[in-house]
């Protein structure tokens, strides 16, 4: 079984949703720098405070900050593999990851790119709700949340992310095209890249991902 994976794709491409399905089905631990930084902000830590403005504007947090988060996480939780949701997002981040994994003799198994249209991105981002407590992601359309939007798993409040605003999305997409898309060539060269049509429903996408994870 493949157990060292990165999930790549535009905002709203389904990385978080698929990461959650992967961890539930295969028990591979997942982490996401975006989720860590939102939690740090809620806790009022210096890291959360320093990075919240960049996130709110739709920019990318400096590579060194993100790589340190991932390195710390790998040291503590990386022994049984990983799914990175939203990392790497730049070529220097991918190079740092490769160097870290080389040092531990634990090479990456898969780089999965969830390809989605801009229409899918806009639809998903404008309807996205996230649990403030456990991070569960759903959409306004998925349930009848007219009274009070509550997480079905932990009863935490379901809220809109403050960077899920259509104007901020323009900046996030600009960063994505300029800094993240070049990663496709990077992973193509290593032979690890697999492109999946992420416009389909979550179960179909997950079926394709599962086959990749279970492949020899
Ligand atoms: P996400 O939850 O993956 O959509 O990330 C939310 C925000 O966190 C992004 O728009 C960035 O501002 C920041 N962020 C998350 N991951 C990274 C990364 N790998 N590199 C730089 N910034 C990141």
Whether 144 maps to a domain, the answer reads no
Whether 150 maps to a domain, the answer reads no
- Into how many domains does the chain fold? 1
Write down the mean pLDDT value for the chain: 94
Residue 172 annotated to the active site: yes
- Active-site residue identified among 2, 4, 15, 38: 15
User: Would you say the CB of residue 54 lies under 6 angstroms from ligand 1?
Assistant: yes
- Domain hosting 52: range is 4-119+164-215
- Active-site residue identified among 2, 38, 89, 124: 89
Whether 51 maps to a domain, the answer reads yes
Whether 156 maps to a domain, the answer reads no
CA pair distance 9, 48, nearest whole angstrom: 24
Beta-carbon contacts of 26 under 8 Å, excluding residues fewer than 6 positions away, are 1, 3, 210, 213
User: Would you say the CB of residue 172 lies under 6 angstroms from ligand 1?
Assistant: yes
Whether 157 maps to a domain, the answer reads no
How does pLDDT run across 15-62, given as a tens digit for each residue? 999 999 999 999 999 999 999 999 999 999 999 999 999 999 999 999
Nearest CA to ligand 1 atom 11: 60
Nearest CA to ligand 1 atom 13: 34
Whether 143 maps to a domain, the answer reads no
Q: What percent of the chain has pLDDT over 70?
A: 98
Q: If you average pLDDT over residues 163-174, what whole number do you get?
A: 94
CATH code, domain carrying 185: 3.40.50.300
User: Would you say the CB of residue 86 lies under 6 angstroms from ligand 1?
Assistant: yes
Q: Is the pLDDT of residue 63 over 80?
A: yes
């Amino acid at each position: 079984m493949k157990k060292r994976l990165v999930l790549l794709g535009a905002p709203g491409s389904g990385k978080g949703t698929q990461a959650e399905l992967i961890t539930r089905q295969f028990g591979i631990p997942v982490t996401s720098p975006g989720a860590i930084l939102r939690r740090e902000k809620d806790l009022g830590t210096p890291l959360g405070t320093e990075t919240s403005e960049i996130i709110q504007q739709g920019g990318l947090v400096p590579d060194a900050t993100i790589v340190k988060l991932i390195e710390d996480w790998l040291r503590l939780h990386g022994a049984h593999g990983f799914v990175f949701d939203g990392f790497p997002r730049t070529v220097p981040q991918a190079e740092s990851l490769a160097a870290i994994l080389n040092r531990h003799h634990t090479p990456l198994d898969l780089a999965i790119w969830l390809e989605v249209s801009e229409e899918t991105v806009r639809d998903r981002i404008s309807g996205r709700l996230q649990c403030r407590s456990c991070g569960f992601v759903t959409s306004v359309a998925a349930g009848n949340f007219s009274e009070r939007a509550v997480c079905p798993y932990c009863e935490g409040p379901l809220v809109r992310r403050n960077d899920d605003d259509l104007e901020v999305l323009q900046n996030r997409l600009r960063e994505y095209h300029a800094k993240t898309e070049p990663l496709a060539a990077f992973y193509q060269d290593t032979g690890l890249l697999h492109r999946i049509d992420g416009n389909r429903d979550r179960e179909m996408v997950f079926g394709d991902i599962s086959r990749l994870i279970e492949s020899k």
